[in-house]
């Protein structure tokens, strides 16, 4: 989630929770500066504000952030004056931005304790077609680290569960044997740690810290792109761990050979183990993920409403969870039960997805069904008689024209049809439209009804 989106959600929650004077005094003037490594740096006007935040608001912040993102995000408070001093200092040295890490630079950053998210476990991970193999490989690695798949490399788009699986491996390993040393870092944190070690002459401790672990988890290694010194150091870290049969797990948004300027020797090492991709969840898995999450959080929500959310958001799981958190907040605020119409309102007013301001596929289906006097079930069904096939094809055509849903998603909304069926329907109607005045009339009528 973007920094400002998250901040707005937290502010919104705090507003409902604090007295209006407290809110105006302490929350209103605070400014989120940066969201990085599970820390949000927040600027406040004075030391008094900072102290108040640290003593009274930080815990609330973390709770609300967790509700919205499922991640343990800590606020790092900084006064305006401190920020100005840091900016001056960093301009004079490396051009580093003011961040929580800079303010806390008294101990080397790499000595920070690894924080695994306790909620990211195998139990809370929903298995579907797109992540089945990744899940199985992760489980094997957590049971027998350093033996079968080393390194284990997950790749795939954002918010699809790569970090979740990584933490699950760490959590499971520690549960089985709490004496094991597990280190989780993002590739950016690895780079920052290295820079910090070089600046403070503590490379030896850096190496000790990274090379004496049983399990090293490095997230988002696509950010190693173009970073020569980091790659060099990581190469040696990798070799030391590998030779010692220690487990390495890596994630990236793409395959190693697609990461720009990643040294060949790293690319080839990353291929020694197992690379598994994670693909976006299908509708059923999205519904299962939402159901799982709703049950975990004790959110009372009917099945058809969950299906509605899952139908609206097909990009990634993070957005899906974000939508559920927004819906929950919206229902609490309005003091009403969660229903499909409340969800439609909640998602629209929070402007979660542009698609929602457009016509949706179910609405198109309803209008077409009514226009041609067929039922919704017939429209989504398999019957092949002309009185039903034509309206079905028209509805598919309009879904493609008027929404930006993908072909597979349109197919899904029509009772799980293949995307090639949607293409065929679209082409057929588009061709007929050139010559058939009745069809032109019908499509014109339907479009104007849908836009009304």
Ligand X SMILES: Nc1ncnc2c1ncn2[C@@H]1O[C@H](COP(=O)(O)OP(=O)(O)OP(=O)(O)O)[C@@H](O)[C@H]1O
Report the run of H or E that residue 219 belongs to, with start and end: strand 215-219
Among 70, 187, 191, 331, binds ligand X (CB under 6 A): 70
Minimum distance of ligand X from residue 118's CB (angstroms): 12
The residue to which tokens 């309009």 are assigned: 398
Specify which residues 43 forms β-bridges with.
31, 78
Q: How far apart are CA 349 and CA 199, in angstroms?
A: 48
Among 50, 162, 246, 400, binds ligand X (CB under 6 A): 162
Q: How far apart are CA 106 and CA 188, in angstroms?
A: 19
Residues in the chain: 452
Minimum distance of ligand X from residue 362's CB (angstroms): 25
Q: How far apart are CA 128 and CA 176, in angstroms?
A: 26
- Identify whether the C-beta of residue 185 lies closer than 8 Å to the C-beta of residue 217: yes
Closest CB to ligand X among 276 and 398?
A: 276
- Identify whether the C-beta of residue 138 lies closer than 8 Å to the C-beta of residue 122: yes
> Which distant-in-sequence residues (6+ apart) come within 8 Å of 364 by Cβ?
395, 398, 399, 402, 403, 446, 450
Among 163, 187, 360, 393, binds ligand X (CB under 6 A): 163
269 counts as binding ligand X under rule CB under 6 A: no
Minimum distance of ligand X from residue 167's CB (angstroms): 8
Count of residues that interact with ligand X, criterion CB under 6 A: 19
Q: Which residue is nearest to ligand X (CB)?
A: 161
Closest CB to ligand X among 45 and 157?
A: 157
Strands (E), 223-373: 247-252, 274-278
Contacting range for ligand X; rule: CB under 6 A; set: 54-62, 161-169, 346-354, 432-440: 161-169
* Residues between 285 and 344 with contacts to ligand X, criterion CB under 6 A: 289, 317-318, 321
Closest CB to ligand X among 80 and 188?
A: 188
37 counts as binding ligand X under rule CB under 6 A: no
Among 50, 164, 286, 392, binds ligand X (CB under 6 A): 164
160 counts as binding ligand X under rule CB under 6 A: yes
250 preceded by cis ω (within 30°)?
Answer: no
Closest CB to ligand X among 114 and 205?
A: 114
- Identify whether the C-beta of residue 212 lies closer than 8 Å to the C-beta of residue 241: no
Binding region: 159, 161-163
Minimum distance of ligand X from residue 154's CB (angstroms): 8
Closest CB to ligand X among 68 and 402?
A: 68
Minimum distance of ligand X from residue 306's CB (angstroms): 14
Contacting range for ligand X; rule: CB under 6 A; set: 34-42, 81-89, 145-153, 157-165: 157-165
* Residues between 204 and 233 with contacts to ligand X, criterion CB under 6 A: 220
Among 75, 151, 159, 273, binds ligand X (CB under 6 A): 159
Short-list 129, 128, 126, 150, CA closest to 140: 150
> Which distant-in-sequence residues (6+ apart) come within 8 Å of 136 by Cβ?
none
x/- track of binding to ligand X for residues 387-406 (CB under 6 A)? --------------------
| Cβ atoms < 10 Å from Cβ of 116 | 20
Give, as one character, the DSSP assignment of residue 357: G
Minimum distance of ligand X from residue 25's CB (angstroms): 33
> Which distant-in-sequence residues (6+ apart) come within 8 Å of 330 by Cβ?
342, 345, 346, 349, 350
Q: Record the tokens describing residue 295, joined without a space.
A: 């049950």
Closest CB to ligand X among 164 and 409?
A: 164
Minimum distance of ligand X from residue 10's CB (angstroms): 17
Read off φ and ψ for residue 275, nearest 5 degrees.
-105, 130
Closest CB to ligand X among 173 and 278?
A: 278
Contacting range for ligand X; rule: CB under 6 A; set: 36-44, 153-161, 358-366, 432-440: 153-161
- Identify whether the C-beta of residue 281 lies closer than 8 Å to the C-beta of residue 128: yes
Q: How far apart are CA 162 and CA 145, in angstroms?
A: 18
For the chain, the maximum distance between any two Cα atoms, rounded to a whole number of angstroms, is 80
Minimum distance of ligand X from residue 228's CB (angstroms): 24
Contacting range for ligand X; rule: CB under 6 A; set: 29-37, 124-132, 177-185, 388-396: 124-132
* Residues between 104 and 123 with contacts to ligand X, criterion CB under 6 A: 120
Contacting range for ligand X; rule: CB under 6 A; set: 80-88, 125-133, 411-419, 440-448: 125-133
> Which distant-in-sequence residues (6+ apart) come within 8 Å of 121 by Cβ?
167, 168, 171, 172
Binding region for ATP: 159, 161-163
Closest CB to ligand X among 118 and 415?
A: 118
* Residues between 249 and 268 with contacts to ligand X, criterion CB under 6 A: 253
Q: DSSP characters for 26-42?
A: IITT-EEEEEETTEEEE
Residues that bind ligand X (CB under 6 A): 70, 120, 124-126, 131, 158-164, 220, 253, 289, 317-318, 321
């Amino acid at each position: 989630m973007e920094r400002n989106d998250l901040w707005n959600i937290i502010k919104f929650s705090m507003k409902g929770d604090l007295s209006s004077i407290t809110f105006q005094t302490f929350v209103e003037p605070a400014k989120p500066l940066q969201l990085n490594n599970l820390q949000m740096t927040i600027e406040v006007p004075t030391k008094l504000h900072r102290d108040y935040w640290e003593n009274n608001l930080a815990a609330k912040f973390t709770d609300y952030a967790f509700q919205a993102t499922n991640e343990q995000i800590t606020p790092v408070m900084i006064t305006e004056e401190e920020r100005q001093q840091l900016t001056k200092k960093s301009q004079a040295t490396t051009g580093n931005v003011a961040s929580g890490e800079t303010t806390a630079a008294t101990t080397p950053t790499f000595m920070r304790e690894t924080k695994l998210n306790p909620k990211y476990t195998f139990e809370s991970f929903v298995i579907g077609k797109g992540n089945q193999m990744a899940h199985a490989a992760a489980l094997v690695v957590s049971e027998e680290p350093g033996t079968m798949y080393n390194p284990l490399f997950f790749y795939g788009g954002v918010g699809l569960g790569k970090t979740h699986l990584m933490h699950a491996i760490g959590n499971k390993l520690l549960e089985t044997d709490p004496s094991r040393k597990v280190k989780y870092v993002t590739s950016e944190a690895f780079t920052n740690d290295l820079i910090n070690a070089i600046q403070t002459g503590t490379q030896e401790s850096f190496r000790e810290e990274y090379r004496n672990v049983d399990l090293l988890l490095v997230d988002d290694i696509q950010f190693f792109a173009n970073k020569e010194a980091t790659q060099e150091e990581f190469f040696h870290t990798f070799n030391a761990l590998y030779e010692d049969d220690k487990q390495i797990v890596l994630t990236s948004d793409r395959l190693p050979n697609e990461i720009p300027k990643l040294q060949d020797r790293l690319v080839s090492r990353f291929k020694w183990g197992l690379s598994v991709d994670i693909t976006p969840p299908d509708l059923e898995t999205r519904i299962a993920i939402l159901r799982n999450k709703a049950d975990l959080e004790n959110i009372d929500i009917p099945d058809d409403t969950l299906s509605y959310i899952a139908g609206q958001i097909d990009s990634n799981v993070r957005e899906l969870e974000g939508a559920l958190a927004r819906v929950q907040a919206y229902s609490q605020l309005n003091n009403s039960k969660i229903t499909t119409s409340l969800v439609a309102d909640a998602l629209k007013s929070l402007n979660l997805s542009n698609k929602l301001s457009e016509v949706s596929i179910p609405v198109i289906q309803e209008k077409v069904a009514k226009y041609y006097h067929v039922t919704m079930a017939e429209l989504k069904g398999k019957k092949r008689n002309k009185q039903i096939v034509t309206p079905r094809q028209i509805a598919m055509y309009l879904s493609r024209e008027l929404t930006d849903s993908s072909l597979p998603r349109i197919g899904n909304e029509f009772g799980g049809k293949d995307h090639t069926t949607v293409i065929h329907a679209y082409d057929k109607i588009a061709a007929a439209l050139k010559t058939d005045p009745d069809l032109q009339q019908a499509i014109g009528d339907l479009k104007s009804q849908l836009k009304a």
